[in-house]
Amino acid sequence: MKLFFRFADYIVRPVEDKDRMFIDLTLDRDEYHRDVMTSDFFLKLLPGEAAWAIEDQKGNVLVYFKTQNVARISLIFTQQRDRELNRDVLTKGTEWLAGVLAQNRFHEMLFDTKGRELRIMAKRRLGFRDSPEELVKTLPTPRLPGWLEEVLHHRQQGTQSEG
């Protein structure tokens, strides 16, 4: 078996068709998932998705999980009072961005807003839907290797002294 990742005493490998029977058995025993998914959820992947199995040292699968590339969109309108312009740029911009993201293997766009009217418009005109069952965890910014931090710091210093 080709190893892909390791953490602690566990092995992470891609889900394969050989997992189908065990996934089906696991789903049949799971009251939360048995009526909402099949093994195809982990086996018939869309662009931007990957499915993984976590095994113990003996090869027993403990967890199946799927990852999806998503883009979280945040925005601010500079022309607060021009609703027609905002609607036009948001409608056309969302369509353009969705195409670009899909071509780059993203699976979904997420859009957070506290604006009631914007939320209604995003659902009505832009194709967004409510998704109340999601939990969000913000990941820390990865630390750059020391040499790269020095290069970027040096460039920033040069830009600031030129300006």
Q: Tell me the pairing of strands 70-73 and 61-68.
A: unpaired
pLDDT band at 15 (very low <50, low <70, confident <90, very high): very high
Least confident piece of the model among 50-54, 55-59, 104-108, 145-149:
145-149
pLDDT band at 55 (very low <50, low <70, confident <90, very high): very high
Cα-only R_g, the chain: 22
Decide: 53 and 13 in contact? Cβ < 8 Å.
Answer: yes
pLDDT, tens digit, for every residue of 58-77?
A: 999 999 999 999 998 888 88
Largest CA distance in the chain: 65
Q: CB-based contacts of 14: which residues, under 8 Å, 6+ apart?
A: 4, 50, 51, 52, 53
**For the chain, which residues make up each domain, given as ranges?**
5-68, 70-125
